Amino acid sequence: MSLSKEIQTLKNFQCEDRCVLSVYLNTNPGDPEQLNGAWRIHLKSGLKRIDEYLKASDDEKEIKAFNAVKTKIEKEVEDNKNDLSKGVVIFASADPELWSVHYVQVPVKTSFHWENHPVTQEMEYMYKAYPEAGIILPSFGEVRILDTAMGAVIGEVTYEFDPNLEGWGERSKASAAHNVGMGSSKGDAIEPRLRENLQRFYKGMGEIVAKLKKERGWAEIHVSGEADLANAFAETLREKPASCIYKNLNNSKPSDVLHQVFEK
């Protein structure tokens, strides 16, 4: 399910009594206020405030519903403490059941909400600023594609091209590590025949990108590569890319690619 559809599903979720805990937690290690894992303190204190409020109301049904999701949320974040990004957004309910977790690479303001529906406004603002997007990294020999949403990579695939055989196909991420030199050829060194084959390859890839855009619900596409290759690929797209960066990031870590595309 695309993130836009998931947000809509969350907006439609509702229960008779208060049963949904919405948590927005800032876990950004680069934030001075988050030094030494301060998010743990913020998570504990935020949940404690709601717990104390419910105990004061003496509503056993609500207390039971809250405790069921509180424990689950605490375990979820603690189990993933070594892989935290800039923030965590969680929507949880025990009955009716709801469990929606998002580790995001965008700024998150810590807040806690106990309502009869998921509090999605902040999530919607974040999504509007960082929508689902495809990042295309063309080089001579391969095209790497990152499927992103909320500033995080949710999928990755590489298509490899053999200029001599004039064939190409999808390559798994694991095998990509064995071909780190594929993107190093300079455009002005490409023979006319190989350039023609490469253009044919890019044209076919442009059609694949258009299909992925529709399937994944990408709001925009970004292209990054050496100037001549990036421009050549951008020309094959039906719609002009949101950005075209003249830098070969084909062998960069996904987090570095995201930084170059969204934060520069």
Check pLDDT > 70 for residue 190.
no
Within this chain, do residues 76 and 184 fall inside the same structural domain, yes or no? no
Within this chain, do residues 204 and 106 fall inside the same structural domain, yes or no? no
- Which has the closest alpha carbon to 143: 224, 255, 263, 244? 224
β 98-104/87-93 pair status: antiparallel
| Measured distance CA(106)–CA(67) in Å, rounded | 29
Residue 254, CA atoms < 13 Å, CB-side half-sphere: 18
- The domain in which residue 218 lies consists of 133-262
| Of the listed ranges 25-39, 84-98, 160-174, 239-253, the one predicted with least confidence | 160-174
| Residue that terminates a domain, selected from 111, 129, 147 | 129
Within this chain, do residues 137 and 203 fall inside the same structural domain, yes or no? yes
| Residue that terminates a domain, selected from 129, 157, 179 | 129
Q: The dihedral of CA 228, 241, 212, 4: what is its sign?
A: positive
What is the residue-averaged pLDDT of the chain? 85
DSSP 221: E
Domain tally for the chain?
2
Cβ distance 20 to 100 under 8 Å? no
Q: 74: buried, middle or exposed (CB in 10 Å: 19+, 13-18, 0-12)?
A: middle
pLDDT of residue 165: 52
**Is 0.85 topped by the overall pTM?**
no
* Phi, then psi, of 97 in degrees rounded to 5: -70, 135
| Measured distance CA(10)–CA(3) in Å, rounded | 10
Within this chain, do residues 23 and 82 fall inside the same structural domain, yes or no? yes
β 142-149/152-162 pair status: antiparallel
Within this chain, do residues 16 and 137 fall inside the same structural domain, yes or no? no
Within this chain, do residues 137 and 170 fall inside the same structural domain, yes or no? yes
Q: Which two tokens stand for residue 113?
A: 């909400």
Percent of the chain with pLDDT over 70: 88
| Measured distance CA(151)–CA(232) in Å, rounded | 26
CATH number of the domain that residue 38 is part of: 3.30.960.10
Within this chain, do residues 147 and 242 fall inside the same structural domain, yes or no? yes
CATH number of the domain that residue 139 is part of: 3.30.420
| Residue that terminates a domain, selected from 80, 105, 129 | 129
235 CB neighbour count, 10 Å cutoff: 12
Write the secondary structure of 77-146 as one string of H (helix), E (strand) and C (coil).
HHHCHHHCCCEEEEEEECCCCEEEEEEECCCCCCEEEEECCCCCHHHHHHHHHCCCEEEEEEECCEEEEE
Residue pLDDT, tens place only, 15-58: 999 999 999 999 988 788 777 779 999 999 999 999 999 999 88
Residue pLDDT, tens place only, 60-94: 999 999 999 999 999 999 999 888 888 999 999 99
The single residue listed with the structure tokens 């951008």 is 234
